[in-house]
């Protein structure tokens, strides 16, 4: 892709009002929701697209899940960390990059941005539930006994919010039940 192709594709995907050339070989797309950066290397052989996802401080607990997502879920894009920010990144040789692949990569980056920490949080929760199931099964507990223990932990205040009302507690326990039932036979 040439710089002209890149600028044209960005304008097609967004609008001329939000696509700004910030330097030769560099563009910024600033919308109400996000700021996307597109950078060509000095020799125009490599293209990098960057989208800040969240401050690193907010993501620290999920770094393992972000790296696991890089392995399985992010396809041609990646999570990266730079300057205390978690970024969505796409890099490609500009000479072999097609408009379609460029547009798909941008769509994928926007999807990572929109998911934020939601998907990696769910992966962390599922990992923890799997650990609970393994421990329960090693102790010879049934699904029902495991649920009774969780119910007791919530009733005694060992789990959950101390100010949680009965309806909130029931919703949380119903979510536990669904997840335990979904994963129980897999482990």
State the Cα–Cα distance between residues 120 and 51, nearest whole angstrom: 17
Q: What CA–CA distances, in Å, run from 22 to 6, 19, 95, 150, 154?
A: 13, 9, 22, 55, 54
Q: What does DSSP assign to residue 58?
A: H
Residue 102 token pair: 């460029």
Residues paired with 39 in a beta bridge: 26, 48
pLDDT of residue 162: 66
pTM assigned to the model: 0.71
pLDDT of residue 106: 97
The DSSP H or E segment spanning 88 is: strand 85-93
- pLDDT tens profile 156-184: 777 777 677 778 778 888 888 888 999 99
- pLDDT tens profile 126-144: 888 899 899 999 999 999 9
């Amino acid at each position: 892709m040439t710089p002209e192709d890149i600028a044209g594709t960005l304008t097609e995907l967004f609008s001329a009002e939000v696509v700004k050339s910030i330097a030769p070989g560099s563009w910024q797309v600033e919308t109400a929701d996000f700021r996307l950066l597109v950078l060509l290397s000095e020799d125009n052989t490599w293209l990098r697209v960057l989208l800040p996802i969240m401050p690193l401080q907010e993501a620290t607990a999920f770094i393992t899940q972000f790296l696991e997502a890089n392995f399985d879920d992010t396809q041609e894009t990646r999570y990266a960390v730079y300057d205390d920010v978690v970024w969505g990144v796409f890099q490609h040789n500009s000479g072999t990059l097609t408009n379609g692949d460029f547009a798909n990569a941008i769509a994928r980056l926007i999807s990572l941005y929109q998911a934020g920490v939601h998907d990696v949080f769910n992966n962390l929760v599922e990992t923890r539930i799997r650990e609970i199931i393994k421990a329960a099964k090693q102790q010879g507990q049934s699904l029902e006994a495991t649920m009774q223990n969780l119910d007791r932990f919530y009733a005694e205040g060992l789990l959950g919010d101390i100010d949680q009302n009965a309806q909130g507690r029931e919703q949380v326990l119903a979510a536990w039940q669904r997840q335990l039932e979904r994963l129980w036979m897999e482990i």
